[in-house]
Structure 1
Amino acid sequence: MRPSKYDWKRLDPRVDAMLAEGMRVTQVAQALEMRVQTVRDRLSYRRRRPPQDAPKPAPPPLIDRSCLNCGAGFSVRSPFLRLCPTCRAEC
């Protein structure tokens, strides 16, 4: 992947400040001497990605199951697993 033409770590706060002041995307692009589509693409990219410091979702709780093949008890996170790890390895 090619490195970015712009230093977005430095530019993102400036773009946010300009937008908070009420400037339009076209005005922000002109102030930063960029193409309008470049600024729009960056804003779209940032909306799609969660922030780096956002908490990760908790994993689903463990479910206690008994194997449909051998009857042994085991715990899994997915409700779709019905065979114990040993029986799954043998299949």
Structure 2
Amino acid sequence: MATFKRYLMFQAMMFVFGIVGPIFLIMFFASPPDPELRWAYWWGLFITAADILIALWLTSSTGDDKTPKDVNFAMALQRRKQRNGIGEG
């Protein structure tokens, strides 16, 4: 259930930042049929799909059992400093 809540948080964040996709889709479907508005449908579809895929990617990359990459980098740097004797008073 925690993963689903994390996904919903990322999805909400993506729709706040990428609201232009759903706006294009609403604009396309709310306006009278016009061949000039095909771009709004396709761009809205691609932006909305990208928002969903980014939210799924962010959810899968931030699991409870995974440590962030920056922590791994900081620990490796600290071990290297200790091994070389750097940073000792």
> Is TM > 0.5 for Structure 1 vs Structure 2?
no
TM-score (norm 1): 0.31
TM-score by length of 2: 0.32
Give the number of the structure whose alpha-carbon radius of gyration is greater: 1
